[in-house]
Chains A and B, each alone.
Chain A
Amino acid sequence: MKRAIMMDPKDNVATALVAFVVGDKVEVVSSAQEVLQQVTIKDAIPLGHKIALANIAKDALVIKYGETIGKASRNISAGDYVHIHNVVSIRLPLTEHMLHSK
């Protein structure tokens, strides 16, 4: 079964270890590779991209590695694809220039 990794027990997102397609049943594993839960995938998720493990309300913190990586820019539901369309940096918001630079 395809897997996503939850880097720290405090995290509310997990990262895809392979690419997921819609309808995939995916196991979420810990950094020790223990299976923690199963999620059904609602959006195509490329390798290295993230899914939500819990509902994250707009402005709530998004946690990976046990640390804050940003805040939700809209309400996110468990299982949703989590990326720049629904999360913003608190430290340094993305600019158009960054998105066009290699």
Chain B
Amino acid sequence: MEFQGFERPNDLVGIRNTVLVMAVADCSEPAARMIAAGIEGAIPVTQHYGCIAMDIAPTLVGVAKNPNVAGILLVAMGCEGMQPEPLVEEISKAGKPVDVVNIQKIGGTRKAISRGQEIVKGMVDQAKKQRRKPFDVSRLVVGVKCGGSDTTSGLASNTAIGAMSDMLVDAGAAVVMIEPIEAIGAEEPLAARAVNERVKQQILKWVGNEEKRWTVPGAEMDFMCRGNVEGGLTTLEEKSLGAVHKGGHRAIKGVLKNQEDYLETVPPGGGFYLQDGTHMEPMAMSSMAAAGVHIVVFATGRGGVFGHAVCPMIKVTGNPDTWSKMSEDIDVNASTIMESKESIESVGKRIFDEVVAVASGKVTLGEQLGFYNFSVWRRDPRIEVLLGLK
């Protein structure tokens, strides 16, 4: 099976042709927003950790290198600790157009906006000349995520997405699941899927470290709550198995590193991967985007409404009420499983078909609404040291 994608340098394929206008830090965010304003195809993004948070540079670089991005303009104020030039050097390895506007050097915001718009318009015009070409489905990299979960998530949306994950892996594509916190209680079945002993140990550490971060004495978090029990979840194992179900059943080839000095991209060749990171949706999607994910498939019971600047998001609900109330936000209806009208496999196939359609240019409902969320996850290096996780 094929999809229609954009050819990129370094033997990569993109499914969108976005020009990113990236403020290196939020000081230059207004200028970046003004540069992108009114230019169709240009999306402004920034991060909010200040300009000396060098440990998020791997995420910014990874997002810029994502093959859905056709070109990148970095907008710097000028005096940042995180200077744009080293970022440009890394990003340019992707072989795509990349440029910088430095507000202090150029002589102020208005000049920066004028020059920035000139550059971005040039990149957009160049991107528009590209035509989609057929590529095998095995070239796709798909992220799976859930949020706003309810009783139906572990029965319908996550299970159907799990069926889709297996179909994608069987077709030679790659699937990535993040959010180790969701796996606490389901680590054994996940570890049993490891391709070898090394990966098995990676998975146990991936979950074990996350458990330590959330169980610091005096600041513990409950992994189960009253709402879970009222919804029918009896144990942490049941809750976590329902969550990780969206990752299907295929062998796990590795846990992708996501750390202050290195963000590992999804290797070519397909298969199922876990990724280190957070469960918080927009940040998790930025981590996945930085690893090379093209599309995120998102299970939601109550109806999550957001998107991502770089990865189109396909939303799936298993809740019949959410589907009937929020069908302008939710792309795929999995509530037919709850209504006992359709098999999990059949819904999984519909989601698979939606992934191929969106990869070929079908605009998701979130994209129609103009949802281009972007936020970056930062792991506090001090906590890692204090907990002995480094």
Q: Which residues of A contact B (CB under 8 A)?
A: 3, 5, 7, 15-18, 29, 31-33, 46-50, 62, 64-65, 67-70, 82-84, 87-92, 94-95, 97-102
Contacts and interface: CB of A to CB of B under 8 A. Distances in A.
B155 A48 contact: yes
Contacts of B189: 67
A17 B151 CA distance: 10
B342 to A, nearest CB: 7
A48 B343 contact: no
B272 to A, nearest CB: 17
8 contacts: A5-B340, A67-B237, A69-B234, A70-B237, A83-B234, A92-B185, A94-B235, A101-B222
A32 B155 contact: no
Contacts of B231: 48
Given A89-B237, A102-B227, A50 B340 contact: no
Shortest Cβ-Cβ A-B pairs, 3 listed: A48-B151, A48-B232, A89-B235
Interface of B: 151-152, 155, 159, 184-186, 189, 222-227, 229, 231-238, 241-242, 245, 337-345
B159 A7 contact: yes
B345 A32 contact: yes
B234 A5 contact: no
B152 A48 contact: yes
Given A15-B232, A89-B185, A101-B226, 4 more contacts: A32-B345, A33-B340, A69-B234, A90-B237
A62 B337 CA distance: 23
A65 B241 contact: yes
Contact of A87 (B151, B225, B234, B339): B234
Contact of B222 (A15, A69, A97): A97
